[in-house]
Structure 1
Amino acid sequence: MKRIILMAVFSMAFFQGYTQHVDVDSLITVLKSELKKENSYDLTRLNRIRQLRASLLLADSNSFDLRYNLTSKIYEEYSSFKFDSAYVYVQEMIRLAEKFKKRDQLIASEIHLGYTLYFSGFYKEAFDVIGKIDTTGFSKKQWSDYLTMRARLNQSIADFDNDPFFSRGYYEQSDRDFKSAQVVVPYNEFEKTINQALLPDSLRKRDLSPDYFFNLINQQNLSPHHVAMVATHVSAAFQGRDRILFLALAAIGDIRSSTKETLAIFLLAQDLYHMNQTNDAYIFMQAAARNANFYGARNRAVQIESLLPLVAGKVIDEKQHQRDKLLIGFLIFFLVAVVLFFLLFIYRKQMLQIRASEALIKEKNKQLEDVNEKLLESAKIKEELIGLFFKTCSSYIEILEKMRHQTMHSIKLKKYNEVNDLMKDIQINKEKESLYNMLDSAFLAMFPNFIDSFNALLKKEDQIWPKSGETLNATLRIFALMRLGIHEQEAIAKILDYSVSTVYTYKTRIKSRALVPPNDFEQKIMEIKFIK
């Protein structure tokens, strides 16, 4: 979204004027975006050339104006786009002017040829061309164009030589030609203002800031190509980020006008490299190299080839440095991760031990609870049984005491028949039955669900239920005593007045009919809940 907004802003800046302060980084971002659309701008120019060439093929060979104008337009398209094609069409312009004896067009074409050779780095050839031009009878405009061409050529040779001794003469000649051209055709107000940027501070009429020139350029409704030319010219007056601002603006104009003979993006890359913005410098230097190779600018290609390896080397060094930092960071992260892994391993091991201990403690607590519950149950049962025992014993002691008193009384009175009758009144079986009923009642008071739980362990047809009027029958009574904790068959037989084999038979018969394995039956009996 930010990129789209920036694109819209700078589109307005080119065509409607721009009066706000521009951030250099934002302009660099727009330039990178425009580089991605470079091919689409080139296709637009190629389509225009294709249409012009088609029109030229259909033009009347005897019509000088039509053919010259079309050839001139094709040359203008190629002049900053591709050297060899521009050279072909400027030669055709010269041929047409000579054929039809048009001196003004011939002079203009020869100056164009000089520019074409100059753009591609053929400085000697360019000097040869302008040296052969007959300047007799030149108009002011022709003199201005001629002198401007010669001034730029001298300046470029001086820049290319880059030597204090040999370059000085070329610079001096260039300065004289520029001044002479200005005398012949004075600058307009816009050109005068722009040129003030290059003057020393003491010679300026006013304080002219970078923002002022930036806004001034964008308020002139210039084409992208002319914006690039003016911005490149103004950039020489500034340093640092202010210079970057104008070079970036010029580079954007060159891309949008599909200009391959461009100096701006090379200078921009060079300045960014010196400012240690290596990644951006490498991107723009590569673009400059593509443009120089495409156009055929041999002089520019030499400059780029001398600097591009340095930029690339610095990019590689920075990336290697970043990789080293990343590797060091990764190693530190790895070591921290290993330490954390071992800490987590130890922590997990300790947690597992703690959990195992907690589980063991819970298990032991559960066992203790079960033991305590069983002890409590056993104590309660014993309490109930002891109470029943003392109650029963007290009752029988009272009966025995009464019988002893009656017996002693009858013996003293020698009423032996009464003693005999008293002994006959004692019914042992009835007393046993009474004792069992008392025991059954006490047991069912403690285990009211015993009969239901017992029969739940048997099939329906094998279930044992007391008859009407019974509390427990013989079979239920055997297992009731087992539930009270009496497991020895001899003890059960003695209490119930059965033989040991009878008790064994009862137990075996019931276990064989149980729904659970015989070995688990007694355990299930013991699990019948005691009710407090």
Structure 2
Amino acid sequence: MKKLLLFLTSLTLSIQCYGNSNLDSLLLELEVTMRKRAFFDNAKKLRVENLKKLINDKDSSSLQNNYFIINEIINEYEKYSFDKALFYIEKNLQIAKKLNNNKLEKESQLKLAKLLATSGRYKEGIDVLNEIRRNELPEKLLEQYYFNYVEGYSGLSFYTTVQTTKERYSQLYLIYQDSLQQKLDPNSDQALALIEKELRDNRNIVEALRINSKRLSQLKLGTTKYSLVTFERALLYGLNNNARDQKMFLALSAISDITASVKDNASLTELAMILFEEGDIERAYKYIDFSVEDTEIYNSRLRFVNISNKLSVISKAFEEKNLEQQAELKKMLLYISVLALFLLFTILYIYRQIKRLSSARKALKKANIQLTNLNERLSITNSDLNRLYNELSNTDKIKEQYIGTFLNLYSDYINKLDTYRKMVRNYLVSNKTKTLLELTKSKQLVDNELQIFYQNFDKSFLHIYPNFIREVNGLLKPGEQIKLNKDEVLNTELRILALIRLGLTNSSKISKILRYSVNTIYNYRVKIKNSALNRDTFEDDVKKIQ
């Protein structure tokens, strides 16, 4: 039921803006709704089954309660199945007689008369009404009493061919219509419907449309009233030769009929005939076939006769169109056969040409293979030459960088030694041997020189290998990468790895250069290896950093 409500809500929102949409989209919406017919019918069947369970519960339901429950079942079946609605009306008549309740009995008789009249059994409906004494009817039932007479005589006057009988029925129709109008609230839908019908009969279309709009504004899609009022509006547009709006409101009426599971309907049949007259035979056939299925479910003989006459015309046109299509298909098949033969000859010709070219292709293939092999050899040779050239270039670059750096270092150290010599001489000349001895005891001079050495080494190395730090971190596990302090260019771990990159793999040599113990260098190397993604190949990978 939730799915049903969601569908009806979305459908109503889309249809309420029909004025801004085109007819084609509305017809597509109708066909989507047609495919959901079983869904809406199953929802109705579920509601009826739930009501039937209440009837069968004899412990909790009295006979009078059963009467009102059956009334609900009749309302469900009234536009869905004539036979089932008739069965339950007759069942309620029996209950009313058992209860000896005159009001309920008259109410059921009026429901029976209404069912007969609205299903096209006009004479039978009037016969039932004639058995009811009007003075015995409660005031509340008089309105339905007159309405049933209006329906019955309206139908008889329309379908009767004998002119004198037609006039008599028309006169009776007018009499009961006047009686009904006196009982109705002027603003009720029934009163407005009678006014609209009178305006329509008098061809006052503009005023009739105004009344219809007033009625339609009070209704919702998916109800029998909405289906009826939109159908009557389509009739008005038909009289006004407005085919487009007529089709739109017939489509709206049909959508409402399907969502409300109304099987006693006429809108889809009328829409099918209009489309048939416009040449849309396939859609007309689909709609009329759908209407026939609904009519069979409802079992309305009058409706079935009307549809059958239209069905035969549409079916004949549909068959003729199919025959025309078959004839066209035969022609197309003939054309395709001729084209297929032509294609076969073409394929044979091409096959011969392919065979002739086959030997030439084989020779070309061999030549191409030989050329490919030569190209591959040349490519390998070029790659080797490029590699050697790059290696030589890098070697020269390293040599130039280191030669320049160490020439500067040696020059600086000669200058520092000369300065240190002069300072010692001055101290000795000045007999400051004690101060000189204290100066030689301090390691500050060595530490300062060591820091200068580290700075020169770090800058020189990173100048040659600018991506060294990033490449090393790429070889380490996530979270184990080396992070430098703010003022550091390289730290001890990176300097050890830098010397390894330069070819110094002996820990004792590294310790002498960096002035650490051999064990300290060894421990650093083990620690870094343990942080590597691949411990076994880590130092070899470092040597390959460019």
TM-score by length of 1: 0.57
Task: Indicate if the aligned counterparts of 2:268 and 2:291 stay in contact, CA closer than 8 A.
Answer: yes
Task: Indicate if the aligned counterparts of 1:197 and 1:237 stay in contact, CA closer than 8 A.
Answer: no
Of residues 261, 268, 271 in structure 1, which corresponds to 2:271? 268
Farther off after superposition, 329-338 or 289-298: 329-338
- Residue of structure 2 in register with 1:108 after alignment: 107
- Residue of structure 1 in register with 2:34 after alignment: 35
Structure 2 residue 307 is the aligned partner of structure 1 residue 308 = no
**Aligned partners of 2:193 and 2:124: how far apart in 1?**
31
Evaluate the alpha carbon distance shift between residue 214 and residue 337 of structure 1 in structure 2; reply closer, same or farther with a 3 A threshold. farther
- Residue of structure 2 in register with 1:57 after alignment: 56
- Residue of structure 2 in register with 1:502 after alignment: none
What one-letter code is carried by the residue in structure 2 that aligns with 1:132? E
Deviations 1:254-307 (A, max 9, x none): 111112222222222233223322212212222221122212211112222233
Structure 2 residue 323 is the aligned partner of structure 1 residue 320 = yes
Unaligned runs of 5+ in 2: 1-5, 365-546
Task: Indicate if the aligned counterparts of 1:59 and 1:67 stay in contact, CA closer than 8 A.
Answer: no
Farther off after superposition, 156-165 or 265-274: 156-165
1:132 CA displacement: 0.9
Evaluate the alpha carbon distance shift between residue 85 and residue 313 of structure 1 in structure 2; reply closer, same or farther with a 3 A threshold. same
Task: Indicate if the aligned counterparts of 1:232 and 1:250 stay in contact, CA closer than 8 A.
Answer: yes
- Residue of structure 2 in register with 1:11 after alignment: 12
Q: What secondary structure does 1:283 align onto?
A: helix
What one-letter code is carried by the residue in structure 1 that aligns with 2:13? M
Evaluate the alpha carbon distance shift between residue 277 and residue 182 of structure 1 in structure 2; reply closer, same or farther with a 3 A threshold. farther
- Residue of structure 1 in register with 2:289 after alignment: 286
- Residue of structure 2 in register with 1:254 after alignment: 257
Q: What secondary structure does 2:279 align onto?
A: coil
- Residue of structure 2 in register with 1:132 after alignment: 131
Unaligned runs of 5+ in 1: 363-532
**Aligned partners of 2:317 and 2:337: how far apart in 1?**
29
Task: Indicate if the aligned counterparts of 1:83 and 1:295 stay in contact, CA closer than 8 A.
Answer: yes
**Aligned partners of 2:125 and 2:131: how far apart in 1?**
10
1:114 CA displacement: 0.8
Structure 2 residue 33 is the aligned partner of structure 1 residue 46 = no
Task: Indicate if the aligned counterparts of 2:219 and 2:226 stay in contact, CA closer than 8 A.
Answer: no
Evaluate the alpha carbon distance shift between residue 47 and residue 151 of structure 1 in structure 2; reply closer, same or farther with a 3 A threshold. same
The number of residues matched between the two structures is 351
What one-letter code is carried by the residue in structure 2 that aligns with 1:244? K
**Aligned partners of 1:62 and 1:323: how far apart in 2?**
63
Larger Rg: 1
What one-letter code is carried by the residue in structure 1 that aligns with 2:299? G
Identity of aligned residues (%): 21
- Residue of structure 1 in register with 2:220 after alignment: 221
- Residue of structure 1 in register with 2:74 after alignment: 75
**Aligned partners of 1:176 and 1:220: how far apart in 2?**
29
Evaluate the alpha carbon distance shift between residue 62 and residue 319 of structure 1 in structure 2; reply closer, same or farther with a 3 A threshold. closer
1:171 CA displacement: 4.2
- Cα RMSD, aligned residues only: 3.8
Q: What secondary structure does 1:238 align onto?
A: helix
Evaluate the alpha carbon distance shift between residue 321 and residue 238 of structure 1 in structure 2; reply closer, same or farther with a 3 A threshold. same
- Residue of structure 1 in register with 2:487 after alignment: none
1:166 CA displacement: 5.3
**Aligned partners of 1:173 and 1:107: how far apart in 2?**
22
Deviations 1:30-63 (A, max 9, x none): 2222222212211111111111111112256994
Deviations 1:81-128 (A, max 9, x none): 222221121112222333334333322211110122234443332121
Evaluate the alpha carbon distance shift between residue 219 and residue 294 of structure 1 in structure 2; reply closer, same or farther with a 3 A threshold. same
Task: Indicate if the aligned counterparts of 1:194 and 1:234 stay in contact, CA closer than 8 A.
Answer: no
1:315 CA displacement: 0.8
Structure 2 residue 22 is the aligned partner of structure 1 residue 23 = yes
**Aligned partners of 2:61 and 2:9: how far apart in 1?**
47
- Residue of structure 1 in register with 2:516 after alignment: none
1:12 CA displacement: 2.5
- Residue of structure 2 in register with 1:241 after alignment: 244
Task: Indicate if the aligned counterparts of 1:140 and 1:184 stay in contact, CA closer than 8 A.
Answer: no
Task: Indicate if the aligned counterparts of 2:147 and 2:177 stay in contact, CA closer than 8 A.
Answer: yes
- Residue of structure 1 in register with 2:381 after alignment: none
Evaluate the alpha carbon distance shift between residue 19 and residue 250 of structure 1 in structure 2; reply closer, same or farther with a 3 A threshold. closer
**Aligned partners of 2:300 and 2:87: how far apart in 1?**
16
Alignment of 1:329-348 (within 5 A): 329-339=332-342, 342=345
Q: What secondary structure does 1:48 align onto?
A: helix
- Residue of structure 1 in register with 2:97 after alignment: 98
1:186 CA displacement: 3.8
Evaluate the alpha carbon distance shift between residue 145 and residue 356 of structure 1 in structure 2; reply closer, same or farther with a 3 A threshold. closer
Task: Indicate if the aligned counterparts of 1:18 and 1:218 stay in contact, CA closer than 8 A.
Answer: no
Alignment of 1:285-434 (within 5 A): 285-339=288-342, 342=345
Q: What secondary structure does 2:133 align onto?
A: coil
Evaluate the alpha carbon distance shift between residue 127 and residue 308 of structure 1 in structure 2; reply closer, same or farther with a 3 A threshold. same
1:214 CA displacement: 7.6
**Aligned partners of 2:351 and 2:310: how far apart in 1?**
59
